[in-house]
Amino acid sequence: MTSLKTYFNDSQPLNDYIEQMSENKEDLLTIYKSFSLPEDDDRLTKIKSLNYSKVLVITEDWCGDAMMNLPILKNIAEQLNLEVRVFHRDDDTNLIDQYLTNGTARSIPIFVFLNDDYQQETVWGPRARQAQKFVDESRAHLPSKDDPTFEEQSNEVHAIISNRYKTDSQLWKAVYDSIIEQLLHK
């Protein structure tokens, strides 16, 4: 089995990944520039004393959750001086298969927080609880997949979710809080 160190070293630095994105790049950068870390969050000081030094991100650039979550992580990583590298989920599913959501889904993004020795300290993803609640509520009234209107209605719901991800600063704050709490209470 390939080690986390190998995956990390074979992955792209976050800024290189963002630069080469073909989908969601502009929205990701807009969120990054629009979101600011709280100035007086003592939790950041506590996290700086913990054993985190790297983040291995498992994602794909078409992912709407990544579009919202990666810019929040980028802000956090810059504040905490964490090296972030991005692994494309579909390049080698052996990695994502170690982090299945609900034991079955290859949901992304997944943030694997590592120490100096490339050992996993904690994992976050693919969504903050509040984002998951919003997605679940948005999808609650979709017809069954065999319904002839499913695809059209599903696309409409996806557009609603994507728009909120791009504009809702409260949701961004929920993502921030979720990541920070995971780092504190691994």
pLDDT at 27: 97
pLDDT at 186: 75
pLDDT at 2: 81
Return the CATH number at 27: 3.40.30.10
Does 147 fall in a domain?
no
The pTM assigned to this predicted structure is: 0.95
Give residue 9's domain range: 4-128+170-185
DSSP 24: S
Does 164 fall in a domain?
no
Q: Rounded to whole angstroms, how far apart are CA atoms 68 and 83?
A: 19
pLDDT at 168: 97
Contact 8, 82 (CB under 8 A): no
How many domains are contained in the chain? 1
Does 163 fall in a domain?
no
Q: Show the low-confidence residues of the chain (pLDDT under 70).
A: none
Does 80 fall in a domain?
yes
Look up tokens 């034991």; give the residue.
103
Does 100 fall in a domain?
yes
Does 157 fall in a domain?
no
Strand partners, 120: 114
Does 149 fall in a domain?
no
- HSE (side-chain half, CA atoms, 13 Å) at 87: 23
Does 151 fall in a domain?
no
Q: Which two tokens stand for residue 28?
A: 């990701």
pLDDT at 133: 97
pLDDT in tens, 83-117: 999 999 999 999 999 999 988 899 999 999 999 99
